[in-house]
Amino acid sequence: MLINCVAYQDGRKLADIPVEDISDYVAREDAFVWVALRDASTAELEVMQEEFGLHELAVEDAGRGQQRPKIEEYGDSLFVVVKMLELREDELHVGEVDIFVGPNYVLSNRSNSTKDFLGVRARAEREPHLLQQGSGFVLYALMDAVVDRYFPIIDTLELELEKIEERIFIRGSQQDNIERLYELKRKVMTVRHTVAPLLDAIGKLHGGRVPSVCSNTQEYFRDVHDHLLRINSALDTMRETIGTAIQVNLSMVALEEGEVNKRLAAWAAIFAVLTAFAGLWGMNFKHMPELDWRFGYPAALTLMAVVCGALYRRFKKVGWL
């Protein structure tokens, strides 16, 4: 689906143009074209390939989808893949944005995502002195918008981790804590798989040999790189904290099991004494002094009760009961 197809000159909007006129504006040296697609079909990508002169391998990757975050050079153009993350009903969904960048064009295709870039375009058009830098600034604006949307997700995951940590020492919550920790760990790894490859790739856009389309915007991409470093550091911290929380939670489970074992052992000791007395007086020997004693039965019950009571008090005192 075509969202926008706009031509710009000197940082200002010229006009919304039809798709068939894209190649005419791309051929002009004083203008560039910014096109936005959503869930583009193969036929739409083929039309864009013809209008912009896109490399067939980049178009093939965009049509296939589910690409790893990356930045690839094709002559004087770039093909950029970034992942979009969204939290919907406590589930982390991963979308994708494929961006084709040339000296005088930017083409973006957003897929599997409900978030749009209308705000990015409006912001860029309000700053013509920046938009005047051309397609390199538009690429920065798109990538910066995607990366900035990672921060609320990181904050949500950190808040969820804090809530789980508060419940670790609550009795009976260990199983639920383990399930929540592993679910949180899965989300953190999803974000990490989104951030880490992009962190490595974006280093190509500032410092050293930089693609020509980004030569005037290196400091902007350095800022995006710094944001990714902060996010990556937060993810590392969360991974370590989750690992520690899992170990503490498992230790709590072991402690609870130990308490149960103590109780069972204490009651087993008490009933063992009863069994011993009952077994002793249950022997049917002919000559047993207690057999003919009038108070033998109540005396035996009293002795058993006293011994069991003493054991109970002792186990209670040491915390086994």
pLDDT in tens, 187-232: 999 999 999 999 888 888 887 778 888 888 888 899 999 999 999 9
Look at 6-10, 52-56, 202-206 and tell me which has the smallest mean pLDDT: 202-206
Q: How confident is the model at residue 75 (pLDDT cuts 50, 70, 90)?
A: confident
For residue 284, what pLDDT is reported? 66
For residue 256, what pLDDT is reported? 73
Query: What are the domain boundaries of the chain?
Result: 1-132, 257-317
Burial letters for 171-190: b for 16+ Cβ neighbours within 10 Å, e otherwise? eebbeebbebbeebbebbeb
The reported pTM is 0.79
pLDDT in tens, 76-93: 899 999 999 998 888 889
- Residues 1-132: name the CATH superfamily: CorA soluble domain-like (3.30.460.20)
DSSP letters, 49-70, are HHHHT--HHHHHHHHH--PPSE
Pick left, alpha or beta for residue 134 (phi over 0 → left; psi -120 to 50 → alpha; otherwise beta).
Answer: left
- Mean pLDDT confidence for 53-57: 90
For residue 183, what pLDDT is reported? 92
Is the predicted pLDDT of residue 290 greater than 70, yes or no? no
In words, the CATH class of domain 257-317 is mainly alpha
For residue 109, what pLDDT is reported? 92
For residue 192, what pLDDT is reported? 93
Distances 41 to 1, 2, 37, 44, 45 between C-alpha atoms, Å: 8, 10, 10, 5, 6
pLDDT in tens, 233-288: 999 999 999 998 888 888 877 767 767 777 777 888 877 877 777 776 676 666 66
As a whole number, the mean pLDDT across the chain is: 86
Domains 1-132 and 257-317 share a fold: no
Q: Count of alpha carbons within 13 Å of 320, Cβ hemisphere only?
A: 16
Is the predicted pLDDT of residue 167 greater than 80, yes or no? yes
Percent above pLDDT 90 for the chain: 33
Q: Is the pLDDT higher at 285 or at 303?
A: 303
Best-predicted range by mean pLDDT (128-132, 166-170, 222-226, 248-252): 222-226
For residue 264, what pLDDT is reported? 79
DSSP letters, 212-250, are GGGTT-HHHHHHHHHHHHHHHHHHHHHHHHHHHHHHHHH
Distances 251 to 31, 106, 117, 246, 261 between C-alpha atoms, Å: 65, 54, 47, 9, 15
